[in-house]
Amino acid sequence: SRASGTTPASPHYVLVNRLGHYYKLKYYRHADYWVGISRGICQHMIDGGFPKDKVVYIPNFADETPVTPLARDSFDTPADQPLILAAGRLHENKGFDTLLHSMTQMPKVTLWLAGAGPEEANLKALCRQLGLNERVRFLGWRNDVTTLMASVDLFVCPSRHEGLGSIVMESWAHRCPIVATHSQGPGEAITDGVSGLITPIDDADALAKAVLRVLGSKDLRQSLIEGGSRVYAEGYCKNHIVQQYVEFYSRIRR
């Protein structure tokens, strides 16, 4: 982080910076090694002049704590309608406006939107403008996103820019199928048709079609659940990632 710039150099310890997004690299140059949570972020650092042999790829893992799903009628939600979830900071980078536009093509679907941020007022105004107030629930900032995932039929990640935080891994770990745009992180991690469905960025029509495709096919939904669960277990589970960090720190310690 930027705080690394104020950390004094010392021969007694190794300084590691960890990047979770495509940040301005000038704030992160003061380090001995750099960890990127996606291969794209690692390449971003290498392209920015960081030594290739000092840049290490180690992704995030999910909160794997078992959760109990909420009742389908939580938040005054119709219990008999398909239910989808989106979550994150309410910022233009997250593409939630595109998701709201896609909702106009899914008249029987209800959306839970969890998050807070600078675009909240604009998104609520757009929701009213599009006539979606009856089918969109703004949940505010939540600390129980994995519980929400376990409660819905599908998770949607409509981001314009996404580094690859924990949200994709959480959907896989909690067996919630995912539809995501081809932003940097999800586009790298998700294999279209295997561990999720991928749509173009800012394409409300394609997003709606992908969501309806999953909701309309039990076989596809189950296939995506199994595919995501398998990918998570093989490459992103907690034990696997912790072991990568242990090996990394063992290699670089002084």
At 99-132, the pLDDT tens digits run 999 999 999 999 999 999 999 999 999 999 999 9
Helix-helix angle 120-129:96-103, to 10 degrees: 20
Asked whether 111 and 85 are in contact (CB, 8 A), the reply is yes
pLDDT of residue 112: 99
CB atoms within 10 A of CB 24: 8
Domain ranges of the chain: 2-61+237-252, 74-234
Q: How confident is the model at residue 2 (pLDDT cuts 50, 70, 90)?
A: low
pLDDT of residue 11: 74
Q: How confident is the model at residue 71 (pLDDT cuts 50, 70, 90)?
A: very high
pLDDT of residue 213: 98
At 23-67, the pLDDT tens digits run 889 888 889 999 999 999 999 999 999 999 999 999 999 999 999
Residue 165 has pLDDT above 80, yes or no: no
Q: Domain 74-234 adopts which CATH fold? A: Rossmann fold (3.40.50)
CA–CA distances in Å: residue 155 to residues 4, 7, 39, 95, 226? 35, 40, 23, 14, 15
At 11-27, the pLDDT tens digits run 778 999 999 888 889 88
User: 249 - beta bridge partners?
Assistant: none
pLDDT of residue 27: 87
SS (HEC) of 54-120? HEEECCCCCCCCCCCCCCCCHHHCCCCCCEEEEECCCCHHHCHHHHHHHHCCCCCCEEEEECCCCCH
